[in-house]
Amino acid sequence: MMPAMEKSAKQHAREAVTDLELKFIEAVEHGRLRAELTYEQLGRHLGMSKSQISKRQDGQITYTLRDMHHISQLLGIDPLVMAAGLGTWLNYIHPTEVHHRLDTPTANSNPGTTP
């Protein structure tokens, strides 16, 4: 029987990143539902298709820091708070305000369009 191999620091770091990514994915899903947004609306805001959002939510593709920033701006929540996991911050998402941000795009708030 082979001895169990200990995980390297690099393997631990990868798992931590994966854990953070999973928490952010979960936060996006709950935040999206709380804001009454569809994948199409979120995708349009980010300049992506519904399929691209779906792949990110399934963990097939990771969100970039840019994506995280723009999603958190849309929802009105700090991205680090979202990445920490679910919590009372969900209560601070107001669908009317989120939809207003979608309907009044600016160069800074809507990465899917050009000014």
Distance CA 52, CA 43 (A): 7
Spatial contact of 87 and 81, defined as CB atoms under 8 Å apart = yes
Instruction: For the chain, list residues with pLDDT below 50.
Output: 107, 109-110, 113-115
Indicate the CATH number for domain 17-103.
1.10.260.40
DSSP letters, 5-55, are: PPPPHHHHHHHHHHHHHHHHHHHHHHHHHHTT--HHHHHHHHT--HHHHHH
Q: Where are the domains of the chain?
A: 17-103
pLDDT value of residue 16: 58
| pLDDT tens-place string over residues 81-104 | 998 989 999 999 999 999 999 998
Phi and psi, residue 26, nearest 5°: -65, -40
pLDDT value of residue 97: 97
